[in-house]
């Protein structure tokens, strides 16, 4: 192993006394981000004013940051661009793929997909017309459900609740053998383990950057368009930044010749600057090392929790090849248990109806963190620390 995970841990500003196992929901603050933001605000926005678009290179930031993410998801240079939210990028990818497969009217996805992706798919189908529909099957049935009526396969590679991982390469191969285009949501993949978009011959992919990539709350999403599709994928959201000549202000839209056509509006420069700084830590990380350490952390947690917490049921696949970088357990009182655990200084999260979810991010989570977290969870269960009124789920409140 060539990656120094002690060094990467020092690159984060972690609160004292907290074990943070929720980076699969929101990554912690990298130390270089605050300095970068201060420079962007003070020296660039403050001093350069509007000239910062050229002098500070703001206008090219979505593409430059996109290329940095491309390395982490196994994409070709010039195939990833930043901007907007993940939901918008899902919409763009789906709309483009549907238009490229005009004789087919089915979007196929699975019941383990992130609900927001399904909402976007359903909304797009309603907009296009009653002949377009979303078909859902159980996750394990996706491959068998593919047929020549399907236009697009929409898959979140890692289930946000259980951490179950789809096998990208064979799904893409089967889909493309039937003339189906694929859209992959990498929200729980990018920065969690090696992704191989180009090697797997992916068509489209999208992802957020505030989880494993630590870009901060509201950090912009990315979209991947395979180079072979970039001249055919028409952007449904035809924004001025995706125009061939955005500053010509033509009244007619002409898409840019490459993935830049998937840009929509003015890029969020402060968010992109923060993300750009957050990505610096990845310069010294080998993704195979990351995967090996991630599985080591997860396996240790499973072993310790199952030995000490017999009332918890493992929801994550036991086979490491079939899971991402999180481990989930089930319990009917999952919400109260998680609130009690957070009160003890171990931050994971809860997903309805009964999932306790823990993210294992080797950049800043150590083996000792895992041992302490498992011991604390054991104490919460053994002493029934969760069985208190303040930890019960209040009606109408957000679940975190």
CA distance 97 to 235: 10
Do the beta carbons of residue 186 and residue 195 sit within 8 Å?
Answer: yes
Write down the catalytic residue from 211, 261, 263, 351. 211
CA distance 62 to 272: 7
Write down the catalytic residue from 110, 117, 159, 185. 185
Tokens representing residue 136 in the block: 């859902």
Write down the catalytic residue from 91, 114, 204, 222. 114
Write down the catalytic residue from 357, 364, 369, 391. 357
| 114 classed as catalytic | yes
| 357 classed as catalytic | yes
| 249 classed as catalytic | no
Q: Among residues 169, 215, 162, 223, which one has the least CA distance to residue 191?
A: 215
CA distance 182 to 199: 14
Do the beta carbons of residue 97 and residue 111 sit within 8 Å?
Answer: no
Phi, psi of 108 (to 5 degrees): -100, 130
The DSSP symbol for 88 reads: H
Mark out the alpha helices in the chain (DSSP H runs). 5-10, 31-39, 47-48, 52-55, 61-72, 86-100, 115-128, 142-145, 168-177, 269-278, 287-308, 334-343, 367-382
| 210 classed as catalytic | yes
Write down the catalytic residue from 5, 210, 350, 360. 210
| 211 classed as catalytic | yes
Tokens 């933001």, residue located: 37
- Catalytic site positions: 114, 185, 210-211, 357
């Amino acid at each position: 192993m060539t990656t120094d995970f002690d060094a990467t841990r020092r690159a984060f500003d972690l609160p004292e006394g907290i074990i943070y196992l929720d980076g699969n929901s929101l990554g912690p603050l990298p130390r270089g981000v605050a300095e970068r933001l201060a420079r962007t605000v003070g020296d660039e926005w403050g001093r350069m004013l509007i000239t910062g678009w050229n002098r500070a290179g703001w206008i090219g930031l979505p593409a430059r940051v996109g290329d940095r993410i491309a390395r982490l998801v196994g994409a070709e240079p010039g195939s990833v661009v930043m901007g907007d939210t993940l939901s918008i990028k899902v919409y763009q990818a789906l709309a483009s793929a549907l238009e490229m497969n005009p004789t087919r009217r089915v979007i196929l996805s699975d019941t383990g997909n992130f609900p927001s992706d399904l909402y976007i798919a359903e909304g797009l189908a309603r907009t296009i017309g009653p002949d377009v529909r979303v078909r859902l099957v159980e996750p394990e049935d996706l491959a068998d459900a593919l047929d020549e009526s399907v236009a697009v396969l929409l898959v979140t590679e890692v289930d946000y609740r259980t951490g179950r991982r789809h096998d990208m390469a064979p799904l893409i191969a089967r889909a493309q053998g039937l003339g189906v285009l694929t859209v992959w949501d990498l929200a729980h993949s990018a920065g969690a383990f090696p992704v191989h978009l180009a090697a797997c011959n992916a068509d489209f992919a999208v992802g957020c950057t505030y989880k494993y990539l630590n870009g901060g709350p509201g950090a912009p999403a990315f979209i991947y368009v395979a180079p072979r599709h970039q001249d055919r994928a028409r952007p449904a959201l035809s924004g001025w930044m995706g125009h061939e000549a955005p500053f010509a202000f033509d009244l007619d839209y002409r898409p840019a010749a490459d993935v830049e056509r998937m840009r929509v509006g003015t890029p969020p420069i402060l968010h992109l600057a923060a993300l750009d700084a957050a990505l610096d830590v990845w310069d010294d990380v080998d993704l195979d090392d990351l995967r090996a350490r991630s599985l080591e952390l997860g396996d240790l947690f499973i072993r310790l929790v199952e030995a000490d917490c017999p009332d918890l049921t493992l929801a994550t696949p036991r086979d490491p090849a079939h899971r991402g970088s999180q481990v989930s357990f089930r319990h009917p009182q999952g919400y109260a248990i998680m609130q009690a655990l957070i009160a003890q200084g171990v931050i994971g999260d809860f997903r309805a109806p009964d999932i306790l979810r823990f993210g294992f991010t080797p950049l800043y989570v150590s083996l000792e963190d895992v041992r302490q977290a498992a011991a604390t969870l054991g104490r919460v269960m053994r002493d029934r620390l969760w069985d208190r009124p303040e930890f019960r789920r209040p009606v109408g409140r957000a679940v975190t």
